[in-house]
Structure 1
């Protein structure tokens, strides 16, 4: 007969067993299937029911020597770094603003951010398409009336740089509310007594933030930054939508749309799966430092 102490110690582990099993089935099978596909070659014969040919590491070798793939990877990393950094900066500023203002303005700001966050992606993209429309867009109309006549009938999506500028604005706009709300929740846990005592001791606002506020909210910021890197690295819907309404597809691919084009557009499921596995490894490599830091903080 087991003692109550042993049963009590095993209880939490028994409770998470169903969750682990669901994760294994829901995520393990697709991941394993994708890994198998990455070692196979798909062509016209497979569309008529023929089994895929096993090619081993050939798909990975083709990707490594493909300059277009490395261009897409570099472009994706730059886009991810810019969007994640700007999102964290703006979101933290909004959180600090909500902490400082009175109840009325704070509620108005929170409702605005919540509506932005809750807006469906397609509805938001349609609104942004109208804003940047070549002939009737509000952005072009505003810039033209401010004296910038060169923006009359300006196409924001035809050039890669302006395309990714528009895409970056949209991605950041949709991501800021999450960062702002999460950081604001962390700011509410900062000790007001400690802040007041440091203020009485002559510490400036910047010093209080650097030595008291930031160390307190740093674990939360680390987790949020980790999530932003993962989300911005695999952004798809915004890029795909902008490509369909005017972007030059060959010059505006990120890894998400490139994988979709290889798999769905060209029926090259082997190369698409190999690139997906590469993105998985790349994501783990980029987030390993953050995860290790989180584990070290939990251990301490």
Structure 2
């Protein structure tokens, strides 16, 4: 018998693995794999949320779409007359009525002015908070939190007293400075009306921006900033090339939210109109839709304008949505 070296001995073959149990009438390739089960899992987790969204949004949105093609007035609301199908008549009115387009242009201008001021002031305050001492930062954060948490109606009552034409603090201060503001009415003139509305809306919106941006600023690497400073980069250069790109995702989200909120602002405008403003010259889309439905009982046209606002919001925010899809594909 030939001699075989110990290191060349071939180990015995492993016993064959038991076959995958197959039920009668099924083939192995028909059985679900682990990867398939894993790919279905996230969709099953999202299913309750999707069902809740459908139940919460499908009926009101569908009802609004149907109503926008109907002549739906007070009689239809009370159930004394059936809705009249008018086709695209409400949309033709929407596209051809100059008064509606005046409100749309006014709302878009108000939205972008307020959103821009809110983002600039909020970002500046958030940056300032990173330079303040702990005590001052806590005091500023508490003040902003109180302003943000104050109920809208309570805040509007305070602002109405501040800008009151007879005994308002604003008129008194301006008069003490030598300006002729005795008995000045801020709400009767559309320009000063929107100035007051801008002050109030920005004041209510800035705290959210400050807290969001400040949270993002705390994530900026101090080591990178110190390295840039050692390389000779100034404060503006560090902010532009290091800080701004780092917090840009947060800025994008907050900006989109701010545009959406300012485009559909209602409470502040409606309250100021009741305090002395002229509705015909100060209506924005929110108050305009409200008056179409409540005052004029034209629910069909109001639904068409509301759907237009929805489409306008999607168009304005489409750039951010596209950027999200690009980041997901990257």
Take 2:328 and 2:224, find their aligned partners in 1: how far apart are those partners?
Answer: 23
Take 1:298 and 1:205, find their aligned partners in 2: how far apart are those partners?
Answer: 33
Match of 1:182 among 209, 212, 217: 212
> TM-score w.r.t. structure 1 length?
0.97
Asked if 1:72 corresponds to 2:103, the answer is yes
1:5-30 Cα offsets, whole Å, 9 max, x none, are: 54344322211110111011101211
> TM-score w.r.t. structure 2 length?
0.88
Larger relative helix fraction: 1
How far 1:3 moved relative to its partner? 4.8
SS in 2 for 1:158: coil
SS in 1 for 2:317: helix
1:80–1:229 CA contact under 8 A, matched in 2: yes
Take 2:223 and 2:74, find their aligned partners in 1: how far apart are those partners?
Answer: 70
Take 2:74 and 2:50, find their aligned partners in 1: how far apart are those partners?
Answer: 39
Match of 1:130 among 139, 161, 175: 161
1:97-147 Cα offsets, whole Å, 9 max, x none, are: 111111111111111111111111001100100110111111001101111
Instruction: Tell me the residue number matched to 1:52.
Output: 83
Asked if 1:40 corresponds to 2:70, the answer is yes
How far 1:290 moved relative to its partner? 1.7
SS in 2 for 1:180: helix
Size of the aligned set, in residue pairs, is: 299
1:165-211 Cα offsets, whole Å, 9 max, x none, are: 00011000000011111001111111111001001111000000010
Instruction: Tell me the residue number matched to 1:107.
Output: 138
2:165–2:186 CA contact under 8 A, matched in 1: yes
The alignment yields a C-alpha RMSD, in angstroms, of 1.2
Match of 1:166 among 176, 196, 200: 196
2:256–2:317 CA contact under 8 A, matched in 1: yes
* Structure 2, gaps ≥5 residues long: 1-30
How far 1:291 moved relative to its partner? 1.5
Task: Name which of structure 1's ranges 4-13 and 267-276 shifts more when overlaid on structure 2.
Answer: 4-13
SS in 2 for 1:289: helix
2:73–2:300 CA contact under 8 A, matched in 1: no
* 4+ residue segments displaced more than 4 Å: 1-5
Take 1:219 and 1:236, find their aligned partners in 2: how far apart are those partners?
Answer: 28
1:167–1:238 CA contact under 8 A, matched in 2: yes
How far 1:44 moved relative to its partner? 5.2
Take 1:52 and 1:29, find their aligned partners in 2: how far apart are those partners?
Answer: 18
Instruction: Tell me the residue number matched to 1:227.
Output: 257
Take 1:250 and 1:34, find their aligned partners in 2: how far apart are those partners?
Answer: 25
* Structure 1, gaps ≥5 residues long: none
2:72–2:298 CA contact under 8 A, matched in 1: yes
Take 1:220 and 1:297, find their aligned partners in 2: how far apart are those partners?
Answer: 14
2:115–2:259 CA contact under 8 A, matched in 1: yes
1:46-80 Cα offsets, whole Å, 9 max, x none, are: 24521110000000001111111000000001000
Instruction: Tell me the residue number matched to 2:278.
Output: 248
Instruction: Tell me the residue number matched to 2:224.
Output: 194
Take 1:163 and 1:7, find their aligned partners in 2: how far apart are those partners?
Answer: 60
1:192-242 Cα offsets, whole Å, 9 max, x none, are: 110010011110000000100000111110111111111000000000000
Cα 1:136–1:282 shift into 2, 3 Å: same
How far 1:42 moved relative to its partner? 2.2
How far 1:297 moved relative to its partner? 2.8
SS in 1 for 2:201: helix
